[in-house]
Amino acid sequence: MDEKLYESYLAILKQELVPALGCTEPIALAYGAATAREVFGGLPEHMDIFCSGNIIKNVKSVTVPNSGGMRGIEAAAVLGAVGGCAEKKLEVLEGVTALHREKARELLARDFCTCHLEEGVENLYIRVEMRGGGHLVKVVLCEKHTRIDHVEKDGEVLSSASEEETPGKKADIRRLLNVRDILTFADEVRMEDIEEVIGRQVEMNTAISDEGLKNPYGAQVGRTLLAVYGDDVKVRAKARAAAGSDARMNGCSLPVIINSGSGNQGITCSLPVIEFAREWKASKEKMYRALTVSNLVAIHQKKYIGSLSAYCGAVSAACGAGAAITWLYGGDYEAVSRTITNTIANMGGVVCDGAKSSCAAKIASSVDAAIMAFLLENADHCFRPGEGLVREDVEDTIRSMGYVGRVGMKETDVTILNLMLEREEDSP
């Protein structure tokens, strides 16, 4: 593999596979609020939060980590302002204490924070405004969960992201991704280059899955699957991934390694592969290479869909897991391509109606579809070109489904948001 391409693929893994504490949208709010508090120099008299619809959708129903069970936009922002450490970025709430939680509840009770829907902005957009004592601070995050786009105090711009700091540079790297080169990279990558980043994913995501299986979080999807369907590897793969989401969506304070800006997607594209690797007694090196396939295939699909949309990211992540399971079984490029095709031809277009307990069920369904896609491919069956969005080439199939998620489901996204905000009359 060309060395420049090799380094680009390695850079993608290291940029995307980073730790996050809790659902990334409320964490982004907490990070923005913690940053604004540092600029303001303490707590203000009042805080306003302006969010895109997708941020509201993904924060509305999820439990904020380290919050003692608090949910929603105001809770995430206030907790970030009171006890967040901006330096820790996606682990901003790691150091929150009981005193911080008590103070946050006190501020929430007196309407210290007001949330507003900001329309006509990026799908991922947050603006935190703090005011008091004649001062006004504005902090804007957009396009990426930790990307500070703009910081302003009393009308003076303190920082503004330059062209070089925008995600466009990363997007250019991700455009290099394709299935054939992903498999080549997984075959050729030096273990010392991926051992830390993949090893951390195995350790952290397994830990939160263990937590979700041991304790009754949310709807207990993972625990229920194991209790009802037994201990077969196909069940364990679904249950492991679902259990991680059970815990994560319902306030567990353990960090996870994310994929494409999402902890649920990081969980989905890793835990099923780990389970199959252990069942098949694959070596550590083989498992790490399979996880490289899974992560990069998931990122490859998401580059077309975008960070936040009406398209459920569990599908693209599970598709990555299915591709990796096929590769782990000995499948070549054609076999992996057929598994990808079978997965997204089946589950592509599942809607995202925000982060919440039912994400665990969608993860289980998506992983089930990916496993079925692998089994169909192994039996020499694949959905054919011309059937729906299936194209002659796997890259064209991925691109077509990405276009549906990014463009075709825009009105779906608006409709979902309006219904969640009880604004049915505003739906298209």
The CATH 1.10.4100.10 portion of the chain extends over 177-420
Token pair 């969960």: residue: 145
Q: Backbone phi, then psi, for 399, in 5-degree steps?
A: -65, -40
Comma-separated ranges of CATH 3.30.1330 domains in the chain: 23-165
User: How confident is the model at residue 267, as a pLDDT?
Assistant: 98
DSSP code at position 383: P
User: Could you tell me the two tokens for 354?
Assistant: 């925000």
Q: Report the alpha-carbon distance of residue 49 to residue 113 in Å, rounded.
A: 7
| Long-range CB contact pairs, 117-123, < 8 A, 24+ | 117/50, 117/51, 117/52, 117/53, 117/56, 117/421, 118/50, 118/51, 118/52, 119/53, 121/52, 122/52, 123/52, 123/53, 123/54, 123/306, 123/307, 123/308, 123/309
CATH of 177-420, one of 1.10.4100.10, 2.60.40.150, 3.20.20.70, 1.20.1280.290: 1.10.4100.10
Q: What is the pLDDT of residue 263?
A: 93
pLDDT at 167: 47
What local confidence, expressed as pLDDT, does residue 423 receive?
A: 55
Place of tokens 């096929």: 326
Report the pLDDT value the prediction gives residue 162, as an integer from 0 to 100: 56
Determine the pLDDT at residue 164. 47
d(CA 59, CA 28): 10
List C-alpha distances in Å: 8 to 17, 324, 390: 14, 20, 29
Report the C-alpha gap between 390 and 406 in whole angstroms: 17
CATH 3.40.50 fits 23-165, yes or no: no
pLDDT, residue 168, reads 44
Q: Which pLDDT value is given to residue 251? A: 84
In order, the DSSP letters of 221-240 are: HHHHHHHHH-S-HHHHHHHH
Q: Which residue shows structure tokens 């439990």?
A: 63
Q: Tens digit of pLDDT for each residue in 111-143?
A: 999 999 998 898 899 999 999 999 999 999 998
Helices (H), 283-358: 284-305, 313-328, 333-347
CA distance 276 to 294: 13
d(CA 84, CA 102): 14
The whole-angstrom separation of Cα 88 and Cα 142 is 18
Q: Which helix (H) or strand (E) holds 136?
A: strand 135-142
Which DSSP helix (H) or strand (E) runs through 264?
Answer: helix 263-268
Parts of the chain with a pLDDT under 50: 163-164, 166-171, 424-428
**Chain segment 315-364, per-residue pLDDT in tens:** 999 999 999 999 999 999 999 999 999 999 999 889 988 889 999 999 99
